[in-house]
Amino acid sequence: MAAPSNDQPNGITIADPLPPHSLFDTILVLDFGSQYTHLITRRLRELNIYSEMLPCTQKLTDLDFKPKGIILSGGPYSVYASDAPHVDPNVFELGVPVLGICYGLQEIAWHHGKDVVAGEKREYGHAELNIHANGSEVSRLFQGLPNNTDVWMSHGDKLGRMPEDFQTIATSPNSPHAGIAHEKKQIYGIQFHPEVTHTPRGVEVIKNFAAGICGAKQDWTMEAFKDKEVARIRKLVGEKAQVIGAVSGGVDSTVAAKLMQEAVGARFHAVMVDNGVLRKNEAKQVKETLTRGLGVNLTVVDASDRFLDRLQGVADPEKKRIIIGNTFIEIFEEEAKRIAKEAESTPHAGPVEWFLQGTLYPDVIESISFRGPSQTIKTHHNVGGLPEKMKLKLIEPLRELFKDEVRAMGREMGIPPDLVGRHPFPGPGLAIRILGDVTREKVRVVQEADLIFIEEIRKAGVYDEISQAFAALSGDRAVGVVGDQRLHGYLVFLRAVRTTDFMTATAYEFPAGVLARIVNRIGNEVEGVARVLYEVTSKPPSTIEFE
């Protein structure tokens, strides 16, 4: 098979000889812009069935693989509107089963007879699905489900008339055609959303379709993927080239680095930058874990003075991010030169051609989503500007994986559980947790407070219940009293949130006594702190980080 290429918006080409869809049975999800489309892909992956999402405008002739089945997602449009998106009609001629969800069902009906209309009533929220045993048999789509099943609906349009040769396989009080099927052609439509948790038995419907009707193998495991991915990377990088990678000690870059090290050994050079705003002892610990624990060839570059000097007097959060991002780039350019030079005298000399990046599937989804990328609230720093500037080719071994799959991969590779379960830490580090200008003294206070906070959270056994926890520092001072002396000292904020996707979050409620213990320790052990506050705002309206 010719190597399909994968053009990135920034013009960088990833030549990918063996993408997962060429190795695993794949269910293709076509996105009409629903908020839940990615959940369809997730549910399939949780069933160990590989799935990819593409925009609904995807031309089938441009696909470089044949899916085992196709799912058409929901969407905010009405199929009868003049500007409504429509799927490539070849979807119905490919000879593979099709399942339409909500808008997807309406799209199937539209294609087969154009009779979809605005309903008199919207149907939003819980509904009871009545599964019809037409003649004697229940549709294969609903096998194993009780005759009355709770489902979740979110629509205003409905089918006028059934398209020819289709039959109703389920109804709900408000939808006479809540499920439709053309059993011979294996085209199915459902008005409810099986992918959301509010449809408790939705996963069974998805499984009936993908594993039952499409016959997709349930062999997508991280164990199977890992070996194939290592082989793919070897082929991609070739015999000579060197690979450089930015590694933070976070889950994504660590798993990516470990994969790379297995694939190309000493030709992979991991670089961690100590930017002076890491957590206490972090650079040392990461070095220890990656080098000794995982055998990754890691260089820690101590550039803390360069970063802290440039951050001096800068209070604007976006300016801080830009300074940090640009300084990262500068250091990586220096490192690439150093690596190429040092490699000259070794048996594996070769040019630095590749840049490893820990991009995950949600980032890919965001960039291909039919609705387009969402609005930027904060320019999340990554070192993404690097490969372009340095004329390097990108290698992104995790670009098909969700975060929990990356964690599973990490466990598979023997990465210690406390690293695999680590809370995320932002690239600009403590600089965006110190409100206003950053000084060495403030970095010390946040580092010490953060260390105590996390230590106590671990001691209380609640680290894994929390998605992200950290200490931050106010730009203001407050009055306190220590040892009968007035103290005009620092105000430390503590934040701990629970979230599944980091898009929304709620404050964590600590078990009784834990916060008191933490506050007491910070007050006693961190010099200069006058007050400690626990922050309880949800996201929205706040964000997780303070800047």
Ligand X SMILES: NC(=O)CC[C@H](N)C(=O)O
Ligand Y SMILES: O=c1[nH]c(=O)c2[nH+]cn([C@@H]3O[C@H](COP(=O)(O)O)[C@@H](O)[C@H]3O)c2[nH]1
**Which residues would be at the binding site for ligand Y (CB under 6 A)?**
321, 377-378, 380-382, 424, 426-428, 468, 502, 539, 543-545
Minimum CB distance to ligand ATP smaller for 79 or for 294: 294
Q: Which residue has the tokens 């812009």?
A: 33
Q: Is 254 annotated as a binding residue?
A: yes
- Helix, strand, or coil here: 495? strand
Strands 137-138, 133-134: pairing is antiparallel
Residue number, 289 or 468, with CB nearest to ligand Y = 468
The response to whether 22 counts as a known ligand-binding position is no
Quote the DSSP letter at residue 505.
B
- Based on CB atoms, which residue is closest to ligand ATP, 247 or 529? 247
Cβ partners under 8 Å of residue 30, min gap 6: 53, 54, 55, 56, 58, 70, 71, 72, 73, 87, 91, 104
Chain contacts with Mg ion (rule: CB under 5 A): 248, 250, 425
CB of 248 to ligand ATP, least distance (A): 3
Q: Does 154 bind ligand X (CB under 6 A)?
A: yes
Rounded CA-CA distance 313/71 in Å is 53
CB closer to ligand X, 153 vs 222: 153
Q: Are 426 and 434 in contact (CB under 8 A)?
A: no
Residue 253 annotated as binding site: yes
Of 123, 195, 335, 400, which residue is the catalytic one? 195
- The residue to which tokens 């929220």 are assigned: 125
Structural Rg of the chain based on CA atoms: 27
Q: Are 14 and 5 in contact (CB under 8 A)?
A: yes
Give the nearest distance from C-beta 427 to Mg ion in angstroms: 6
Is 250 assigned to a binding site? yes
Residue 102 contact, options ligand X, ligand ATP, Mg ion, none, Cβ 5-8 Å cut-off depending on partner type: ligand X
CB-nearer residue toward ligand X: 76 or 373: 76
User: Helix %, strand %, coil % for the chain, to 5?
Assistant: 35, 25, 40
Q: Which does 201 bind (CB under 5 to 8 A by kind): Mg ion, ligand ATP, ligand Y, none?
A: none
Residue 249 is assigned to a ligand binding site = yes
User: What is the separation of C-alpha 152 from the centre of its chain, rounded to a whole number of angstroms?
Assistant: 25
Residue keyed to tokens 């503590």: 494
Pick between residue 74 and residue 194 the one whose CB is nearest to ligand X: 74
Q: CA 257, CA 365: separation in Å to the nearest integer? A: 23
* Residues in Cβ contact with 117 at an 8 Å cutoff, skipping those fewer than 6 apart: 80, 157, 158, 159, 160
- The single residue of 193, 353, 381, 400 carrying the catalytic annotation is 193
| Alpha-helix residue ranges (DSSP H) falling in 100-221 | 103-111, 202-207
Q: Annotated catalytic, 102?
A: yes
To ligand X, the closest distance from the beta carbon of 121 in angstroms equals 11
Segment near ligand X (CB under 6 A); pick from 127-135, 148-156, 309-317, 399-407:
148-156
Closest distance between ligand Y and the C-beta of residue 377, in Å? Answer: 6
182 catalytic? Reply is no
Alpha-carbon distance of 152 to 124, in angstroms, equals 7
Check residue 250 for interaction with ligand ATP (CB under 6 A): yes
Integer CA distances (angstroms), 86 to 59, 73, 412, in order: 11, 12, 41
* Residue 504 Cβ vs ligand X, minimum distance, rounded to whole Å: 20
- DSSP 3-state assignment of 480? strand
Binding status of residue 77 toward ligand X by CB under 6 A:
yes
- 358 binding partner (options ligand ATP, Mg ion, ligand Y, none; Cβ < 5 to 8 Å by kind): ligand ATP
Q: What are the beta bridge partners of residue 190?
A: 101, 179
Residue 544 touches which member of ligand Y, Mg ion, ligand X, none, C-beta under 5-8 Å by kind: ligand Y
Sole binder of ligand X in the list 19, 75, 250, 426 (CB under 6 A):
75
Q: Does 359 help bind ligand ATP (rule: CB under 6 A)?
A: no
Give alpha helix (H) positions in 317-439. 317-344, 361-368, 386-389, 403-412, 417-420
Cα gap 295→279, rounded to integer Å: 23
Among 52, 107, 157, 282, binds ligand X (CB under 6 A): 157
Angle value at C-alpha 106, between 100 and 111, nearest 5 degrees: 95
Contact status: 324 vs ligand ATP (CB under 6 A): no
Q: Does 272 bind ligand ATP (CB under 6 A)?
A: yes
Is the C-alpha dihedral spanning 358, 544, 366, 156 positive or negative? positive
Does 17 help bind ligand ATP (rule: CB under 6 A)?
no
Q: Tell whether the torsion through CA atoms of 308, 313, 315 and 321 is positive or negative.
A: negative
Nearest residue to ligand X by CB is 74
Per the annotation, binding residues for ATP are 248-254
> Contact residues for ligand ATP (CB under 6 A)?
246-248, 250-253, 272-273, 275, 358, 382-383, 424-427
Residues marked active site are found at 102, 193, 195
> Contact residues for ligand X (CB under 6 A)?
34, 74-78, 102-103, 154-157
Per the annotation, binding residues are 248-254
